[in-house]
Amino acid sequence: MRRLLAVLVALAGALTLAGCTAEASGTAPITDGRPLRITTTTNFITDTVGRIGGDRLEVTGLMGPGVDPHLYRASAGDVQALREADIIFYGGLNLEGKMGDLLADLGRSRTVRAVTDGIPRDQLLRGPGTSEADPHVWFDVTLWQHASRAIAETLAAADPGHAADYRRNLDAYLAELTSLDAGIRERMAAVPAPRRVLVTSHDAFAYFGRRYAVEVAAIQGISTAAEATTADIERVAELIASRQVPAVFVETSVPRQTIDALLAATARRGHPAVVGGELFTDAAGAPGTPEGSYLGMVRANVDRIADALGAPAAAGG
């Protein structure tokens, strides 16, 4: 028996080597009974991988709360964690803009999977004035279901002995996401239509806006790498004043000075908008808090947006 296992392990190793050149989509089995070692980028990807993998995985997340993935550069310790991983999950669509070369390089020797690969291409949006796809898919919960399936498929292929566990965890998670999606639709529909305008510093909510019928406006584009201009601030201030939008939002992963400049420009137009709260855009909250999970960050955002824009309080809180 032990001998057979050794042969199987050797065979799995050979398959892994053969699979390396086959690029990110296919994965040969790589486990020999030990937990899979996974390294992830943003903390909401870390959370989702953890929900699907359960205790079968050793997950190392690189980016904590408040970290901006657009600007993030891997440290020496991160590179080590990436090199030790069996599988790397990242957002893709240039979300981790400064890590592209590193991830491509690592993809030659292990499975490196962009979770957004699971999303049908015709459901992706382009950023304004660019041909680049918008990476902020997670605020359309149905798109995050596709990303979750991609994670489960990748884990099942790498660890077929536990594929049934991953699929069972996935099904439970998808059911929670379906219920979350329905809750968001209901909550946003309660905001009076003229005020259903979501203003943030960077353009992270286009998918949210499309899915939940909310108009979105942002000072910066889909990446925080480009600076906001005065013209951008004046354009958004004009919209806020003309629509009498009561509140704008700061983001946990973006400095708030552009929002302060926006409020000053809005006040000059005689419309005193306020900060409606802080939204989790490109990072979930601290581990162990309700906002530390993907579901929790989305729920917290929706509550803050609906409350600040004047929706009646949600039934049962």
Contact residues for Zn ion, defined by CB under 5 A: 204, 282
Least distance from C-beta 281 to Zn ion, angstroms? 6
Nearer to Zn ion, 78 or 282 (CB): 282
Nearer to Zn ion, 49 or 279 (CB): 279
How far apart are alpha carbons 86 and 20 in whole angstroms? Answer: 11
Secondary structure (3-state) at 312: coil
Least distance from C-beta 70 to Zn ion, angstroms? 5
Nearer to Zn ion, 30 or 204 (CB): 204
Nearer to Zn ion, 78 or 134 (CB): 134
Q: Which residue is nearest to Zn ion (CB)?
A: 282
Cα–Cα distance list, 177 to 113, 141, 291, 312 (Å): 21, 6, 15, 23
Least distance from C-beta 94 to Zn ion, angstroms? 10
How far apart are alpha carbons 210 and 125 in whole angstroms? Answer: 10
Least distance from C-beta 136 to Zn ion, angstroms? 6
Least distance from C-beta 155 to Zn ion, angstroms? 26
How far apart are alpha carbons 152 and 173 in whole angstroms? Answer: 11
Range 261-281 burial, b when 16+ CB lie within 10 A, else e? bbbebbeeeebebeebbbbbb
Nearer to Zn ion, 24 or 204 (CB): 204
How far apart are alpha carbons 131 and 109 in whole angstroms? Answer: 30
Q: Let me know: does 93 contact 135? Beta carbons within 8 Å.
A: yes
